[in-house]
Amino acid sequence: MSSQRGASGRGPANDSPAARRGQGGLPGADTAAAPDTPDAGALPAPATPAGQDGLAALFADPGKALIALDFDGTLAPIVADPELARAHPEALGALVALAPKVAAIAVITGRPAEVAVRNGGFANVPGLEHLVVLGHYGAERWDARSGEVTAPDPHPGVDAVRAELPGLLEGSGTWVEDKGRAVAVHTRRAADPQAAFEALREPLTHLATRHGLIVEPGRMVLELRPPGMDKGVALSEYAREIGAGSVLYGGDDLGDLPAYSAVDALRTTGTPGLLVCSGSDEVTELRDRADVVVDGPEGVVELLRALADHIG
Q: What is the mean pLDDT of residues 185-206?
A: 94
Pairing of strands 221-225, 183-186: antiparallel
Position 236, amino acid: S
Long-range contacts (CB closer than 8 Å, 24 or more residues apart) made by 286-289: 286/251, 286/252, 286/253, 286/254, 286/256, 286/257, 286/260, 287/18, 287/19, 287/21, 288/18, 289/257, 289/260
* Strand arrangement, sheet containing 246-251: 148-150, 140-143, 131-135, 104-108, 65-69, 246-251, 273-278, 292-294
- Residue 279 dihedral angles phi and psi, to the nearest 5°: -50, 140
Reply yes or no on whether the pLDDT at 18 is more than 80: no
Reply yes or no on whether the pLDDT at 2 is more than 70: no
Measure the CA–CA gap between 276 and 292, rounded to whole angstroms. 5
CA atoms within 13 Å, Cβ hemisphere of 184? 22
Where residue 177 falls (left for φ over 0; alpha for ψ -120 to 50; beta otherwise) is beta
Taking the chain, what is the end-to-end CA distance rounded to the nearest angstrom? 19
| Residue 262 CB partners (closer than 8 Å, separation 6+) | 231, 232, 233, 235, 236, 239, 249
Candidate from 11-15, 118-122, 218-222 with smallest mean pLDDT: 11-15
Choice between 221 and 152, residue whose per-residue pLDDT is larger: 221
Closest CA to 251 of 272, 221, 274, 227: 274
Measure the CA–CA gap between 224 and 207, rounded to whole angstroms. 9
Q: Give pLDDT, residue 10.
A: 30
Report the predicted TM-score, pTM, of the whole model to 2 decimal places.
0.74
Q: Which of 10-24, 121-135, 175-189 has the highest mean pLDDT?
A: 121-135
Q: What confidence tier does 42 reach under pLDDT thresholds 50, 70, 90?
A: confident
Mean model confidence pLDDT for the chain: 86
Q: What confidence tier does 282 reach under pLDDT thresholds 50, 70, 90?
A: confident
Candidate from 31-40, 45-54, 138-147, 303-312 with smallest mean pLDDT: 31-40
Q: Which of 185-194, 212-221, 258-267 has the highest mean pLDDT?
A: 258-267
- Residue 216 dihedral angles phi and psi, to the nearest 5°: -110, 105
